[in-house]
């Protein structure tokens, strides 16, 4: 599937992002969905913009969303809708009880609208990346509201909101599928600090807290229950592995023997929860895009061959877009900026070629026509180079965000 970058949070300078508008996907949704289908993708991740829909408490204006919803219906595109992708309405305190109440009411209103529009069974991500957002917005001060030392508090708040929203949507349509999306990570101690091994493993285990809470396994007073951990989405990028306690140059490169390949990370999540599982975000920038897709598809096929039933893989983002902080042209998608008049988008042919090949290969494996053969023979130095470039860009972006 293809995923549309859809962040709507405010930056430290007060400017609110609207990545659906920046990429013009909100204008050209039907054409974008058609493009996905032309390249073999019948499903997508997309989003609502809560801050546009609910400008006044309890009053919903769906004008920014209905064209996208109807385009998906007319195109026969299966969309997994994000209700919260880092942004929320003005004047609403993220930590207040009102946040949970308003979010649950918004989710219910969405469910009613989707039902009235005849969309069948909705697939929904209530809150994208509970663990990452709790760290970025509540612990490290990177994202709005730029708090420090409140990460655990924020995680619990977001779990409450997810649980409340899921229950409200299922009151409208009991068949609603709840997708809970978070990154998978690997954290180890530095070679010269073996005494940090327990702390590193504790940090690695923290990746499961959000899912455990929603399932009701941890802190059941938050309202979680197993039926709410319905579908699990895992996000994986090349900088998702590092040495504890983190900091500059702490990333674990693919050539490092401590690097954990994605097949084993997928297997661990599935063995822990036994829920439908998909790769909800993965991608990289520039000329490494085809190589990264080759690596990720091979890891996915390896996971399936080992008994982990991975249900899908989302290229994210599917469209190039302006950078959050510096508005640079990020070449990380399959399709480029839209022609302002026609909506036409240039295709990055090396990635399109690789996508076609990997789609054919995966179809053969899944149908049983061919057996999985581990094809990852590339020198890890190539991925190492890509990893360090991505880490440098991430560090620079975070510095600018502060």
392/399 Cα distance (integer angstroms):
11
User: What CATH number should be reported for the domain holding residue 178?
Assistant: 3.20.20.80
**pLDDT band for position 246 (cuts 50, 70, 90):** confident
Number of structural domains, the chain?
A: 1
User: Given pLDDT bands bounded at 50, 70 and 90, which one contains residue 379?
Assistant: low
Which residue would you say has higher pLDDT here, 246 or 184? 184
99-116: pLDDT as tens digits: 999 999 999 999 999 999
pLDDT, the chain, mean:
94
Task: Classify burial at 205, counting beta carbons within 10 Å of its beta carbon; exposed 0-12, middle 13-18, buried 19 or more.
Answer: exposed
What pLDDT does residue 14 have? 96
* pLDDT at site 400: 55
Beta bridge partner(s), residue 251: 242
Percent of the chain past pLDDT 90, that is, above it, reads 89
Q: What is the pLDDT of residues 200-219, one digit of tens each?
A: 999 999 999 999 999 999 99
Average pLDDT over residues 165-182: 98
What pTM was estimated for this model as a whole? Answer: 0.94
Quickly tell me which residue has 């009411």 as its tokens: 105
Do 215 and 273 meet the contact criterion of CB atoms below 8 Å apart? yes
Q: What is the pLDDT of residue 155?
A: 98
| Per-residue pLDDT at 19 exceeds 70 | yes
pLDDT of residue 248: 54
More confident residue, 120 or 356: 356
Range of the domain at 178: 2-401
Residue-wise pLDDT tens digits, 250-295: 899 888 999 999 999 999 999 999 999 999 999 999 999 999 999 9
Res. 375: pLDDT tops 80: no
Residue 212 sits at φ, ψ, to 5 deg, of -60, -40
b/e map of 74-100 (b: 16 or more CB within 10 Å)? ebebebbbbbbbbbbbeeeebeeeebb
Residue 393: the pLDDT is 65
Give the per-residue pLDDT at 247: 66
CA distances from 374 to 168, 238, 269, 331, 358 (A): 44, 20, 21, 29, 13
> If DSSP states are collapsed to H, E and C, what string results for the chain?
CEECCCCCCECCCCCECCHHHHCCCCCCHHHHHHHHHHCCCCEEEEECCHHHHCCECCECCCCCCHHHHHHHHHHCCEEEEEEECCCCCCCCCCCCHHHHHHHHHHHHHHHHHHHHCCCCCCEEEEECCHHHHHHHHHHECCCCCCCECCHHHHHHHHHHHHHHHHHHHHHHCCCCEEEEEEECCEEEECCCCHHHHHHHHHHHHHHHHHHHHHCCCCCHHHCCCHHHCCEEEEECCCCCEEEECCCCCCECCCCCCCCCCHHHHHHHHHHHHCCCEEEEEECCCHHHHHHHHHHHHHHHHHHHHCCCCEEEEEECCCECEECCCCCCEECCCCEEEECCCCCCEEECHHHHHHHHHHHHHHHHHHHCCCCCCCCCCCCHHHHHHHHHHHHHHHHHHHHHHC
Cβ neighbours for 356, distance < 8 A, ≥ 6 positions apart: 39, 40
pLDDT of residue 401: 47
Closest CA relative to residue 130, chosen from 168, 166, 105: 166
How confident is the model over 137-155, as pLDDT tens digits? 999 999 999 999 999 999 9
Residue tagged 């918004």 (tokens): 106
């Amino acid at each position: 599937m293809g995923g549309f970058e859809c962040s709507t949070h405010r930056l430290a300078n007060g400017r609110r992002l609207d990545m659906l508008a920046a990429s013009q996907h909100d204008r050209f949704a039907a054409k974008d969905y058609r493009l996905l289908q032309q390249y073999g993708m019948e499903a997508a991740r997309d989003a609502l913009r809560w801050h546009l829909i609910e400008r006044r408490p309890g009053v919903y204006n769906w004008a920014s969303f209905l064209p996208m919803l109807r385009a998906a219906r007319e195109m026969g595109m299966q969309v997994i809708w994000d209700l919260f992708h880092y942004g929320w309405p003005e004047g609403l305190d993220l930590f207040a009880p009102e946040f949970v109440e308003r979010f649950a009411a918004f989710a219910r209103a969405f469910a009613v609208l989707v039902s009235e529009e005849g969309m069948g069974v909705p697939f929904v991500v209530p809150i994208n990346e509970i663990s990452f957002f709790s760290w970025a917005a509540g612990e490290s001060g990177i994202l709005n509201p730029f708090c420090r030392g409140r990460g655990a508090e924020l995680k619990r708040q977001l779990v409450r909101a997810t649980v409340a929203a899921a229950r409200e949507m299922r009151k409208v349509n009991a068949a609603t599928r709840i997708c809970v999306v978070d990154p998978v990570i690997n954290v180890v101690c530095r070679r010269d600090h073996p005494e940090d091994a327990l702390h590193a493993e504790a940090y690695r285990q923290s990746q499961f807290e959000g899912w455990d809470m929603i399932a009701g396994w941890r802190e059941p007073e938050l309202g979680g229950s197993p039926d709410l951990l319905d579908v699990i989405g895992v996000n994986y990028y090349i900088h998702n592995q590092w040495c504890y306690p983190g900091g500059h140059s702490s990333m674990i490169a693919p050539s490092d023997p401590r690097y954990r390949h994605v097949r084993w990370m997928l297997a661990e999540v599935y063995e822990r929860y036994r829920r439908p599982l998909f790769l909800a975000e993965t991608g990289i920038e520039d000329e490494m895009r085809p190589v990264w897709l080759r690596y990720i598809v091979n890891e996915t096929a390896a996971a399936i061959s080992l008994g982990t039933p991975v249900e899908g893989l989302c290229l994210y983002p599917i469209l190039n877009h302006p950078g959050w902080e510096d508005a640079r042209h990020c070449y990380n998608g399959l399709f480029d900026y839209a022609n302002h008049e026609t909506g036409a988008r240039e295709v990055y042919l090396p990635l399109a070629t690789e996508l076609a090949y990997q789609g054919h290969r995966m179809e053969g494996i899944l149908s049983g026509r061919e057996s999985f053969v581990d094809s990852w023979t590339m020198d890890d130095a190539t991925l190492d180079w890509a990893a360090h470039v991505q880490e440098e860009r991430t560090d620079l972006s975070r510095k600018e965000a502060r």
